[in-house]
Structure 1
């Protein structure tokens, strides 16, 4: 049976709804989709694109271009593309929670999420740091953020921290947890029997034998030795400025970066349009687009749907891999 995936458009004033309308035009042989969101917003996006959209009940079957099964999560106030309204923050969070709960109950096999607007959600009175953190808390588990495209997979030891806070956040327990979760996901979700993970150093030149910082010697290297004794195949710590050379990447299944902007600029340069954001460690696969709400493009019909298409393909592939593994 094909995996059944939840689809959450995200911020209603952004490009997420129209990307979902474009997605609904594509025949799918790899999965079935069930959207969680506001029906009026999706219909407005379809009109803006001049594309057909037929919203179906969750129990129906999508057969034609433009068919999209929907579990309605209505907005509280009317929506205008390009202009966020904090009054709809609760609907955005409710859609994410409902989709997550359906996955946790086993009703759906994975979750694909569109872009959300953090400022709008917080302005709506909801404390929100990110969907990754929200889903991890709801599932009660530790997770790792990974971004991936057709060229490279980059996992992050730390995510959205000020640069001056990064060094203090990289400790033994954090690195042990992140590397174990990443290695397990590479095996279970990507079907790589013995993955090789390149681990970047924190400092320039990976610390230059302690002359440019001692985090590599005192924290990173001891963690790598511990995990190698457990059987993990880890290379590093490597200088970040040379680890992404194409000839080196061919020997790695993933790269662990110590902080957000250490690894992600390379990934986005190598193929931003097809890049996706994965949450490793959840009981179900979650894949998101790797771009923002693009309010300036919303409703104009010019937004590139490639990242959402890639997110669905990736989530379907991982969900199928998990079902096959039992």
Structure 2
């Protein structure tokens, strides 16, 4: 038995800002994926996943089934028969490993599920996001539900605000020089402590002002440029966003990357930004010349996401 594939996600723009109701843009990333599988002979990794699924079954048994009803007996039976989540999505890397698992469980065990084939009204998207937020809270303490939503629908999603989401189209990739890429920090990042740190910073009036003004302004401009294919303007706005993040989110950027981050801004060869909550995992990069960026960053592992 092997279930359908669910892909990783990349929040191109909007990390932290979406917690405070500003814009975001998330895209599926099919380089990494996961599926539910069953085996009588589990490897150590599969066994660990199977044990976690049993804990997850217990968590779902205690949730409010007026929002969503799961066939829990079937889930329990499948877990006891050796079901696990077979995934290439790295955990703690900001690309939605728990989101893909949540999407897979909803797809297989939810009754009256909302599907990608129907007319996805705003109400249906918000309902799905709410269900997924509740389901993913098991992993992060608190979840927006956006990662599983992206993985489940496998569509780019534009977040206008907490209560206003829409599937969106992104310009098709070109064989240009420019690129979006992932840079591997080779450190695991944990979402919960980073989000707590952000919430504490939000108590500071100056930090709140920076989020509401500079951070939101450049994030919104980047999203607009990206969706409309304005590459030249996009790089200008990403550079400004990269500066704002380096100045105000230092604890979320692994120390070893502070200089590299600044070098990108100074040289205009690439611009870095957080991918997810930071603290490790992947760092997102934008460059007008991918070959040049690869040369400068040759000591690091890069993954190509999108070409301009």
TM-score by length of 2: 0.33
TM-score by length of 1: 0.32
- Whose helix fraction is larger, Structure 1's or Structure 2's? 2
